[in-house]
Amino acid sequence: MNKSILIALILFMHSAVAQRPKGFFKRFELIKKGGHIVNIVDRSLKDYPIFEQYQKWSLDLFTKANSYKNNPTLLSEWDIFINTQLNDNERPTLSFVDILMSINEKDLKQIIYSENVKQVINFYEIELKKITENETYAIVANLNDPTYFYTSNRRNFFNRKIEKWCREYLKDEKIAYFVRNYLSRNFDHLQMRRKFHQSILEYYLLKFSASDLGLTSLEKSQALSSVKEGMLPWWNLLEIAKVRKQWPYYGEKSLSNNKIDGNKFDGQIAKEKITNYHQLFEKEGNETIKDLATTGGLYLKSPVDIYFYHDTSKVLKMRSLIELLYLGLSLQSPNIGTLAQKIFLKSLTDETRIHEGSLVAYFEQQNEKEQARQLRLQLVNAWEL
Q: What are the phi and psi torsion angles at 111 (to 5°)? A: -80, -55
Query: 94 to each of 158, 312, 332, 339, how far by Cα in Å?
Result: 29, 29, 12, 11
Taking the C-alpha atoms of residue 248 and residue 269, their distance in angstroms, rounded to an integer, is 37
Q: Which pLDDT score, from 0 to 100, does residue 85 have?
A: 60
Whether the pLDDT of residue 3 is over 80: the answer is: no
Taking the C-alpha atoms of residue 18 and residue 365, their distance in angstroms, rounded to an integer, is 8
Whether the pLDDT of residue 231 is over 60: the answer is: yes
308: left (phi over 0), alpha (psi -120 to 50) or beta: beta
Q: What are the phi and psi torsion angles at 370 (to 5°)? A: -65, -40
The dihedral formed by the CA atoms of 246, 252, 255 and 259, expressed in degrees to the nearest 10: -130
129-152 pLDDT tens trace:
877 776 788 999 999 999 999 988
| Range 377-381 average pLDDT | 92
| Beta pairing, strands 286-291 & 269-273 | unpaired
Taking the C-alpha atoms of residue 19 and residue 15, their distance in angstroms, rounded to an integer, is 6
Asked whether 74 and 68 are in contact (CB, 8 A), the reply is yes
139, containing H or E segment = strand 139-142
| Range 252-281 average pLDDT | 76
Domain edges within the chain:
24-377
327-337 pLDDT tens trace:
888 888 777 67
272, containing H or E segment = strand 269-273
3-state secondary structure of 297: coil
**In the chain, % of residues over pLDDT 90:** 44
Average pLDDT for the chain:
84
Taking the C-alpha atoms of residue 4 and residue 258, their distance in angstroms, rounded to an integer, is 40
336-373 pLDDT tens trace:
677 777 877 887 788 889 999 999 999 999 999 999 99
- The verdict on whether omega for the bond into residue 303 sits within 30 degrees of 0, i.e. cis, is yes
